[in-house]
Structures are given as C-alpha cells and as structure tokens.
Amino acid sequence: MEINTVHSVQKASYVSQNLTETFDSVNRAFSRQAKYFDESERNNIILADMRTQVRDHVMKYLKRGDYILELNAGTGLDAEYFVEQGFKVHATDLSDGMIQMLKQRIIHQNLSNSITFQQCSYTQLDQLNTSGFNYIFSNFGGLNCIKDLSQVTKFFSGVLKDRGFVTFVLMSKFCPWEFISVFKGNFSYAFRRFKKNGAIAHLEGEYFKTYYFTPKKVLKSFGKKFKLIKVEGLGVLIPPPVKENVPKQQPKFYKVLKYLDKKLRNHFPFNRWADHFIITLQYSME
C-alpha cells in the first residue's frame, strides 16, 4: 500500500452557520496541539492507562489479518500500535497538524506498508479512497465534536464488511469525578456535560462545541443492522487525565483506585458513569 496524498479539507460550514460549530476552529485547535500531543501523553500516566484499556478492549474483537479504518486518528499512536500487532490501518483525521505528525510517524517508523492515511472529516467518509474494512475505530472523544453521530454512522454499511466491528470511545454525560465539584459549589462545571446543545470547549485559544453522549444515544445513531456487543466505563474511579499529578503524588491511592476501577467498569451503571465509555457494536448485512 502507498501513502495517500493529503486531500484538502472542505470548509465544513455546512455543519452549522454558528461559528462555534464549524470544524475550522476544531482543525486549528488540534493542529496547534499536534506538536506536543505525543509528549504530553508520555508524561501522563492516567492517559497511558486509559489507552491501554481501550487497546485491550479492541484486541478482543480483532481477528488476524483485519483491516481497520481509524477515524480521528490524531498523530497515529493507536494506528502504530495496531500495526505492531499485525493489522493494517487506514488512518483519517481532519486536522492539518495531526495529519502532518501522522505522516512523519509513518515515514520515521517505516510504516508505509501497513498504515495509509487520508485527511478527511468523519462526516465525509463517502470520500474515502479505500473500503472493505473489518473494523472501524475512533478513540478519545474525537466524535464528541459532532452533535449527531448518524452523520458519521450513515457511511458505515458502505465501507464495513459483514460481521465487522465498530468501537467508539466517547466522553460520557455523567462523569463522577466532575460531578463531585457540585459539593465545592462549582455548579457550571459539575453540570456542563448535561447541556442539551453542547458545552463550549476551549483548546489552544479556539472555542468549539463539544457534545456528551450516553450509550443509548450512540446506539440510536446506528441502524438496525448494528448489534450492541459491549459497553465499558473508561475512567470510572481513576481521575480524568487532567488530574495527571494524582498518580505521581499519591501513587498508593491511585493504585487502589485503579484496582477498584477494573472491578466496576464492566458493570451497570459504572460502564457508563465514567469520564469516557467504550462502546462496541457488530454489523450484520442481513
């Protein structure tokens, strides 16, 4: 496989006339973040633990030789991991900066035989230059930038093979760690995820809308041909990645939280009461 040339991103003003809802500001924000994205991940134990949990989840459903479509792939951390496990990946992202970092990763790690890439929004999957995937994967809330997930899932039956899997990792509506700030009187922070029309995210000097999901809402965005396989909480008791000092300053406390988190995260309601949740569905053509 060859590395694909970078496609120009269409201005996504069709999403909304409201400036905060276009992908232009999302592109600018993540492009700025791209330069230090991998480094901040390396220094953040919580983020690394969460990523390990996501990968372990996905590995349960992947089969030898599978071809993965990754949405909002960022700098390609997961794409590289899945290639190391023997899979092929078509990695997509909207952001100029992320695509640039992804391209550098492919060149420096000599991955062009197993990772291809394409700059495109997940709302433009009809423009993909390849198909026949066994798995569609989206990690760490890239899909929280869109209100209506059906604008993404509507393309899946056209590119996914029969019995293929989809795994989304999304920020949830109810995060216990955030909610406890209600006891400190910080009501706007505690309730921000419940806002019907999304909360304003501030990243790298840019403002854009972020939407929070329940597994039920995600399921609704898929047609009847997708069956729910598993919902798992990600960051139930362990703090969200912004609290990156907790494991460094209170390692024993973090270890206990991690142990209890593992016990709870597969059981209702903790499989959805978490910073993020991992949801996996399976596609059936009939």
Ligand X SMILES: C[S@@+](CC[C@H](N)C(=O)[O-])C[C@H]1O[C@@H](n2cnc3c(N)ncnc32)[C@H](O)[C@@H]1O
Binding site for ligand X (CB under 6 A): 23, 26, 30, 72-74, 77-78, 93-95, 98, 121-123, 139-142, 145
For every residue of the chain, DSSP letters joined together read --PPPPPPPPP-TTS-SSGGGSHHHHHHHHHHHHHHHHHHHHT-HHHHHHHHHHHHHHHTT--TT-EEEEES-TTSHHHHHHHHTT-EEEEEES-HHHHHHHHHHHHHTT-TTTEEEEE--TT-GGG-S---EEEEEE-TTGGGG-S-THHHHTTHHHHEEEEEEEEEEEEBS--HHHHGGGGGT-HHHHHGGG-TT-EEEEETTEEEEE--B-HHHHHHTS-TTEEEEEEEEESSSSPPGGGTTHHHH-HHHHHHHHHHHHHHTTSTTTTTSSSEEEEEEEE---
Q: Which is nearer to ligand X, 144 or 271 (CB)?
A: 144
Q: Which is nearer to ligand X, 152 or 257 (CB)?
A: 152
For residue 27, the minimal CB distance to ligand X (Å) is 7
Q: Which is nearer to ligand X, 114 or 121 (CB)?
A: 121
For residue 155, the minimal CB distance to ligand X (Å) is 12
For residue 183, the minimal CB distance to ligand X (Å) is 28
Q: Which is nearer to ligand X, 145 or 236 (CB)?
A: 145
Q: Which is nearer to ligand X, 37 or 177 (CB)?
A: 37
For residue 208, the minimal CB distance to ligand X (Å) is 9
For residue 95, the minimal CB distance to ligand X (Å) is 3
